[in-house]
Amino acid sequence: MESENQLSEKQSPEKQSSETQKDKTPVLLQIFFVFFKLGSIMFGGGLAMLPLLERELIVKRNWTTHEELLDYYAISQSTPGIIAVNVATFIGYKKAKFLGALVATLSLLITPVILITLIALFISNFESIAWVQKALRGINISVAALLTYSVIKMGKKVLKSFYSVALYFASFTAVYFFKVNPLFITLFCIVLGVLCFFISSRNLKKQNEQNKKESE
């Protein structure tokens, strides 16, 4: 009996990998349908997609948290590429590693690529159609509303201290009034955040050592 149990526990790598693939197949299908749906209604992209991502990924499926989603957005804004695509890649990798990231990225892009290709073929005809121009204006208004909602909601979650509020207004002033390149603002904030982390960690370490000496 023991030998049989040991044999059953020691499965070959091929069998284990095949079982892992079977376990992940439903997850990959879920990832495909979710991000294909998001790609079909991805007007505005980036921050405009935040309410849709929150509803589909957090409220409905609990695939991530608000804090993680904001972290994904922060990283995506600091790296090359489209924000929405980068976020999809992060979520897909979290759910099913490399295959999940690949499926999420491709499924998000299928519909936009097809639509943009069709529009590019007939863009000269679209420009002269009145109802198309009205529709685009309506889409722009809805995107502006989604962006406003996303900025307010993100601000409530991020701006929790005096220093974060001060940094927010300083960054906004530099970009809006002085036309500073947003890349420099992002790099500066990254460096400042790392420095603050090391300083706070150092102070915390000193405080713990001091408390330990006092207790002895």
Write a three-state SS string for 94-142. Answer: HHHHHHHHHHHHHHHHHHHHHHHHHHHHHHHHHCCCHHHHHHHHHHHHH
Mean pLDDT, the chain, rounded, equals 81
Put simply, whether the predicted model's pTM sits higher than 0.85 gets the answer no
- CB count within 10 Å of CB 175 equals 14
Helix, strand, coil shares of the chain, percent, nearest 5, are 85, 0, 15
Per-residue pLDDT of 68-79, as tens digits, reads 888 888 888 777
Grade residue 2 by pLDDT with cuts at 50, 70 and 90.
very low
Q: How confident is the model at residue 7 (pLDDT cuts 50, 70, 90)?
A: very low
Structure tokens at 103: 């499926």
Kindly list the distances between the CA atom of residue 101 and the CA atoms of 28, 33, 46, 92, in Å, as whole numbers in the listed order: 9, 14, 18, 4
Return the closest-CA partner of residue 87 out of 71, 106, 98: 71
pLDDT band of residue 9 (cuts 50, 70, 90) is very low
Give residue for tokens 């993100």: 154
78-120: per-residue pLDDT in tens?
A: 777 788 889 999 999 999 999 999 999 999 999 888 888 887 7
* HSE-up of residue 79 (Cα within 13 Å, Cβ side): 15
Share of the chain above pLDDT 70, in %: 85
End-to-end CA distance of the chain: give it in Å, rounded.
56
Count of alpha carbons within 13 Å of 63, Cβ hemisphere only?
23
Q: Measured between alpha carbons, how far is 54 from 77 in angstroms, rounded to an integer?
A: 18
